[in-house]
Chain A
Amino acid sequence: MYEIIAFYLFSSIILALFYIVVTTKQPVFAITALASGLIFIGGLFFLLDAEFLGVIQIAVYSGGIMALYAFGFMFFDASKDIEERTSANKLPFVLFVLVCVILNFLLISPKIALPKPIVEIDTNITNAHQLGLELFSKYLLAFELAAILLLVAMIGGIMLLSSKMDKSWTTTPDDEIKADS
Chain B
Amino acid sequence: MIGLEHYLILSVIIFCIGLLGLLRRKNLLMLFFSTEIMLNAINLAFVSVSSYLGDITGQTVAFFVIAIAASEVAIGIALILLWFKKTRTIDLDSLKYIKG
Contact = CB atoms under 8 A, between A and B. Distances in A.
Interface residues of B, number: 69
A169 interface: no
A34 B37 contact: yes
Main secondary structure on chain B at its contact with chain A? helix
A68 B14 CA distance: 23
Interface in B43-100: 43-44, 47-48, 50-57, 59-60, 62-64, 66-75, 77-82, 84, 88-91
B75 A157 contact: yes
Main secondary structure on chain A at its contact with chain B? helix
Given A48-B48, A69-B77, A149-B68, A27 B29 contact: yes
Given A30-B30, A108-B5, A118-B55, A50 B17 contact: no
A45 B60 contact: no
Contact of B17 (A19, A61, A76, A103): A19
A82 B20 contact: no
Nearest to B23: A92
Contact of A41 (B15, B43, B82): B43
6 contacts: A15-B14, A22-B34, A96-B23, A108-B8, A149-B68, A153-B72
Interface of A: 3-4, 7, 11, 14-15, 18-19, 21-23, 27, 30-31, 34, 37-38, 41, 44-45, 48-50, 52-53, 56-57, 60-61, 64-65, 68-69, 72-73, 75-77, 82-85, 89, 91-93, 95-96, 99-100, 103-104, 107-108, 114-115, 117-121, 127, 130-131, 134-135, 139, 142, 146, 149-150, 152-154, 156-157, 160-161
Given A7-B6, A75-B81, A118-B55, 12 more contacts: A30-B33, A50-B51, A61-B40, A64-B70, A65-B73, A69-B77, A72-B80, A121-B54, A139-B60, A146-B67, A150-B70, A156-B74
